Chain A
Amino acid sequence: MAQDNKSPRGSDTIDANLKRVYQDVLDEEVPDRFLALLDQLKAQDAAKSDPNSDSSQ
Protein backbone atom coordinates (compact mmCIF):
# COMPACT_ATOMS: atom_id res chain seq x y z
CA MET A 1 0.00 0.00 0.00
CA ALA A 2 1.06 3.55 -0.65
CA GLN A 3 0.55 4.53 2.95
CA ASP A 4 4.20 3.99 3.78
CA ASN A 5 5.49 6.60 1.37
CA LYS A 6 6.21 9.12 4.06
CA SER A 7 6.85 6.74 6.89
CA PRO A 8 10.00 7.26 8.87
CA ARG A 9 12.90 4.93 8.37
CA GLY A 10 12.46 1.73 10.27
CA SER A 11 8.75 1.53 9.63
CA ASP A 12 9.24 -1.91 8.07
CA THR A 13 10.78 -3.07 11.32
CA ILE A 14 7.90 -1.60 13.25
CA ASP A 15 5.29 -3.26 11.09
CA ALA A 16 7.09 -6.58 11.33
CA ASN A 17 7.19 -6.28 15.10
CA LEU A 18 3.54 -5.28 15.29
CA LYS A 19 2.52 -8.26 13.25
CA ARG A 20 4.63 -10.54 15.37
CA VAL A 21 3.22 -9.25 18.66
CA TYR A 22 -0.25 -9.84 17.30
CA GLN A 23 0.53 -13.15 15.66
CA ASP A 24 2.11 -14.58 18.77
CA VAL A 25 -1.17 -14.20 20.66
CA LEU A 26 -3.14 -15.47 17.67
CA ASP A 27 -1.05 -18.62 17.75
CA GLU A 28 -1.79 -19.29 21.39
CA GLU A 29 -4.35 -21.92 22.14
CA VAL A 30 -7.70 -20.41 23.06
CA PRO A 31 -8.46 -21.14 26.72
CA ASP A 32 -11.26 -23.66 27.27
CA ARG A 33 -13.23 -21.17 29.34
CA PHE A 34 -14.40 -19.34 26.24
CA LEU A 35 -15.79 -22.36 24.47
CA ALA A 36 -17.36 -23.45 27.75
CA LEU A 37 -18.94 -20.01 28.07
CA LEU A 38 -20.39 -20.22 24.56
CA ASP A 39 -21.81 -23.67 25.32
CA GLN A 40 -23.36 -22.27 28.46
CA LEU A 41 -24.94 -19.35 26.61
CA LYS A 42 -26.27 -21.74 24.00
CA ALA A 43 -27.79 -23.99 26.66
CA GLN A 44 -29.42 -21.02 28.36
CA ASP A 45 -31.03 -19.91 25.13
CA ALA A 46 -32.22 -23.38 24.32
CA ALA A 47 -33.85 -23.62 27.73
CA LYS A 48 -35.53 -20.25 27.23
CA SER A 49 -36.85 -20.71 23.72
CA ASP A 50 -37.91 -24.30 24.21
CA PRO A 51 -39.29 -24.59 27.72
CA ASN A 52 -40.77 -28.04 27.05
CA SER A 53 -37.49 -29.63 26.19
CA ASP A 54 -35.47 -31.30 28.87
CA SER A 55 -32.63 -28.83 29.02
CA SER A 56 -31.52 -29.03 32.58
CA GLN A 57 -28.00 -27.80 31.81
Chain B
Amino acid sequence: MSTSNPRDELPDHLPALRAFAMSLTRNSATADDMVQDTLVKAWTNIEKFQVGTNLRAWLFTILRNTYYSNRRKASREVADVDGVFTESLSQKPDHDGRLQMKDFQVAFAKLPDEQREALILVGASGFAYDEAAEMCGVAVGTIKSRVNRGRARLTELMHLNDDEGMELTDTATMAVVTGRVNGAPR
Protein backbone atom coordinates (compact mmCIF):
# COMPACT_ATOMS: atom_id res chain seq x y z
CA MET B 1 0.00 0.00 0.00
CA SER B 2 2.39 2.67 1.13
CA THR B 3 4.49 3.19 -1.96
CA SER B 4 5.79 6.67 -1.32
CA ASN B 5 3.94 8.90 1.06
CA PRO B 6 4.73 12.56 0.41
CA ARG B 7 4.42 13.12 4.15
CA ASP B 8 7.56 11.08 4.63
CA GLU B 9 9.41 13.48 2.37
CA LEU B 10 8.53 16.60 4.35
CA PRO B 11 11.73 16.54 6.44
CA ASP B 12 13.82 16.67 3.25
CA HIS B 13 12.32 20.04 2.40
CA LEU B 14 12.74 21.68 5.79
CA PRO B 15 16.06 23.43 5.05
CA ALA B 16 14.70 24.89 1.81
CA LEU B 17 11.47 25.97 3.48
CA ARG B 18 13.43 27.75 6.18
CA ALA B 19 15.66 29.46 3.65
CA PHE B 20 12.66 30.63 1.65
CA ALA B 21 10.81 31.77 4.76
CA MET B 22 13.89 33.64 5.90
CA SER B 23 14.19 35.46 2.61
CA LEU B 24 10.58 36.59 2.89
CA THR B 25 10.48 37.56 6.55
CA ARG B 26 14.13 38.38 7.30
CA ASN B 27 13.37 37.39 10.86
CA SER B 28 14.29 33.93 12.07
CA ALA B 29 11.54 33.62 14.68
CA THR B 30 8.83 34.66 12.23
CA ALA B 31 10.34 32.45 9.55
CA ASP B 32 10.29 29.38 11.76
CA ASP B 33 6.72 30.07 12.85
CA MET B 34 5.77 30.22 9.20
CA VAL B 35 7.54 26.96 8.49
CA GLN B 36 5.65 25.38 11.35
CA ASP B 37 2.30 26.61 9.99
CA THR B 38 3.27 25.33 6.57
CA LEU B 39 4.10 21.87 7.91
CA VAL B 40 0.76 21.58 9.68
CA LYS B 41 -1.14 22.77 6.61
CA ALA B 42 0.80 20.44 4.34
CA TRP B 43 0.25 17.50 6.64
CA THR B 44 -3.47 18.01 7.00
CA ASN B 45 -4.02 18.80 3.31
CA ILE B 46 -1.66 16.22 1.89
CA GLU B 47 -4.42 14.65 -0.20
CA LYS B 48 -4.51 17.87 -2.21
CA PHE B 49 -0.94 17.32 -3.29
CA GLN B 50 -0.73 15.65 -6.67
CA VAL B 51 1.76 12.84 -6.40
CA GLY B 52 4.36 13.12 -9.11
CA THR B 53 4.38 16.91 -9.08
CA ASN B 54 6.96 19.04 -7.33
CA LEU B 55 6.46 18.73 -3.58
CA ARG B 56 8.87 21.55 -2.84
CA ALA B 57 6.96 23.91 -5.11
CA TRP B 58 3.73 22.91 -3.38
CA LEU B 59 5.23 23.55 0.05
CA PHE B 60 6.70 26.89 -1.03
CA THR B 61 3.28 27.89 -2.33
CA ILE B 62 1.68 27.12 1.03
CA LEU B 63 4.40 29.05 2.79
CA ARG B 64 4.14 32.15 0.63
CA ASN B 65 0.35 32.14 0.86
CA THR B 66 0.70 31.98 4.63
CA TYR B 67 3.15 34.86 4.54
CA TYR B 68 1.03 37.12 2.37
CA SER B 69 -2.12 36.40 4.30
CA ASN B 70 -0.32 37.19 7.57
CA ARG B 71 1.12 40.31 6.03
CA ARG B 72 -2.32 41.52 5.11
CA LYS B 73 -3.51 40.95 8.65
CA ALA B 74 -0.50 42.61 10.22
CA SER B 75 -0.02 45.40 7.73
CA ARG B 76 -0.08 48.01 10.43
CA GLU B 77 2.50 46.36 12.63
CA VAL B 78 6.10 47.36 12.26
CA ALA B 79 8.18 44.43 11.14
CA ASP B 80 11.28 43.57 13.07
CA VAL B 81 13.74 43.20 10.28
CA ASP B 82 16.88 44.69 11.70
CA GLY B 83 19.75 42.56 10.64
CA VAL B 84 18.44 39.27 11.98
CA PHE B 85 19.08 37.73 8.63
CA THR B 86 22.60 39.02 8.75
CA GLU B 87 23.28 37.81 12.23
CA SER B 88 22.08 34.31 11.52
CA LEU B 89 24.66 33.87 8.84
CA SER B 90 28.03 32.38 9.34
CA GLN B 91 30.30 34.67 7.43
CA LYS B 92 33.06 33.41 5.24
CA PRO B 93 36.50 34.61 6.26
CA ASP B 94 37.42 36.70 3.23
CA HIS B 95 37.23 40.32 4.15
CA ASP B 96 35.90 41.91 1.01
CA GLY B 97 33.38 39.18 0.42
CA ARG B 98 32.10 39.66 3.92
CA LEU B 99 31.61 43.37 3.61
CA GLN B 100 29.99 42.90 0.27
CA MET B 101 27.62 40.35 1.76
CA LYS B 102 26.56 42.82 4.41
CA ASP B 103 25.88 45.43 1.74
CA PHE B 104 23.94 42.90 -0.21
CA GLN B 105 21.72 41.94 2.68
CA VAL B 106 20.91 45.52 3.52
CA ALA B 107 20.03 46.14 -0.13
CA PHE B 108 18.08 42.92 -0.43
CA ALA B 109 15.97 43.81 2.60
CA LYS B 110 14.94 47.04 0.88
CA LEU B 111 13.28 45.29 -2.03
CA PRO B 112 9.53 44.79 -2.13
CA ASP B 113 8.48 41.31 -0.96
CA GLU B 114 7.41 40.28 -4.43
CA GLN B 115 10.78 41.10 -5.95
CA ARG B 116 12.68 39.38 -3.14
CA GLU B 117 10.53 36.35 -3.55
CA ALA B 118 11.01 36.18 -7.33
CA LEU B 119 14.77 36.59 -7.00
CA ILE B 120 15.04 33.84 -4.41
CA LEU B 121 12.81 31.43 -6.31
CA VAL B 122 14.53 31.91 -9.64
CA GLY B 123 18.00 33.12 -8.69
CA ALA B 124 18.73 30.98 -5.64
CA SER B 125 16.43 28.01 -5.28
CA GLY B 126 16.58 27.00 -8.91
CA PHE B 127 12.95 27.13 -9.96
CA ALA B 128 12.18 27.85 -13.60
CA TYR B 129 10.32 31.04 -14.43
CA ASP B 130 7.14 29.14 -15.21
CA GLU B 131 7.33 27.21 -11.94
CA ALA B 132 7.83 30.41 -9.98
CA ALA B 133 4.95 32.01 -11.86
CA GLU B 134 2.65 29.16 -10.96
CA MET B 135 3.71 29.25 -7.33
CA CYS B 136 3.07 32.97 -7.13
CA GLY B 137 -0.14 32.80 -9.12
CA VAL B 138 1.00 35.31 -11.71
CA ALA B 139 2.04 35.29 -15.36
CA VAL B 140 5.55 34.26 -16.37
CA GLY B 141 6.13 37.77 -17.67
CA THR B 142 5.33 39.17 -14.25
CA ILE B 143 7.95 36.97 -12.61
CA LYS B 144 10.52 37.96 -15.23
CA SER B 145 9.75 41.60 -14.68
CA ARG B 146 10.02 41.22 -10.89
CA VAL B 147 13.36 39.46 -11.24
CA ASN B 148 14.67 42.11 -13.62
CA ARG B 149 13.48 44.99 -11.48
CA GLY B 150 14.87 43.32 -8.37
CA ARG B 151 18.24 42.81 -10.01
CA ALA B 152 18.30 46.36 -11.31
CA ARG B 153 17.46 47.77 -7.89
CA LEU B 154 20.09 45.66 -6.16
CA THR B 155 22.63 46.73 -8.73
CA GLU B 156 21.76 50.33 -8.04
CA LEU B 157 21.80 49.93 -4.27
CA MET B 158 25.12 48.12 -4.31
CA HIS B 159 26.66 50.53 -6.83
CA LEU B 160 27.49 47.68 -9.15
CA ASN B 161 26.77 49.80 -12.19
CA ASP B 162 30.19 51.32 -11.91
CA ASP B 163 32.80 49.61 -13.95
CA GLU B 164 35.18 48.52 -11.30
CA GLY B 165 35.00 46.62 -8.06
CA MET B 166 36.98 49.22 -6.13
CA GLU B 167 33.96 51.39 -5.61
CA LEU B 168 32.21 48.59 -3.78
CA THR B 169 35.15 48.02 -1.51
CA ASP B 170 35.39 51.71 -0.75
CA THR B 171 31.72 51.89 0.04
CA ALA B 172 32.00 48.91 2.31
CA THR B 173 35.04 50.35 4.02
CA MET B 174 33.31 53.65 4.58
CA ALA B 175 30.38 51.78 6.04
CA VAL B 176 32.64 50.19 8.61
CA VAL B 177 34.48 53.39 9.39
CA THR B 178 31.31 55.37 9.92
CA GLY B 179 29.46 52.47 11.52
CA ARG B 180 26.73 52.72 8.99
CA VAL B 181 25.83 50.56 6.06
CA ASN B 182 23.98 52.23 3.23
CA GLY B 183 22.31 54.62 5.59
CA ALA B 184 20.82 51.87 7.73
CA PRO B 185 20.58 52.64 11.43
CA ARG B 186 23.51 51.28 13.45
The interface bits of chain B over 19-55 (1 if a CB of A lies within 8 angstroms of the residue's CB, else 0) are 1101100000000100110011001100000000000
By DSSP majority rule, is chain A's interface helix, strand, loop, or mixed?
Answer: helix
Given contacts A13-B160, A22-B124, A22-B125, A8 and B18 within 8 Å (CB-CB) = no
Residues in chain A near residue B36, CB distance under 8 A: 33-34, 37
Interface residues of B in 82-128 (CB under 8 A from A): 85, 88-90, 100-101, 104-105, 108, 119-120, 123-125
For chain B, give the interface size range.
Answer: 35 or more
Across chains A and B, the number of contacting residue pairs, with CB separation under 8 Å, is 104
Interface centre among B39, B129, B163 (most CB of A within 10 A): B39
- Residues of A in contact with B (beta carbons under 8 Å apart): 3, 7-11, 13-15, 17-28, 30-31, 33-35, 37-38, 41-42
23 residue pairs of the A-B complex, CB under 8 angstroms, read A8-B152, A9-B161, A10-B158, A10-B161, A13-B100, A14-B123, A17-B101, A17-B104, A18-B108, A18-B123, A21-B23, A21-B85, A22-B23, A24-B89, A24-B90, A25-B15, A25-B22, A25-B23, A26-B18, A30-B14, A34-B14, A37-B39, A38-B39
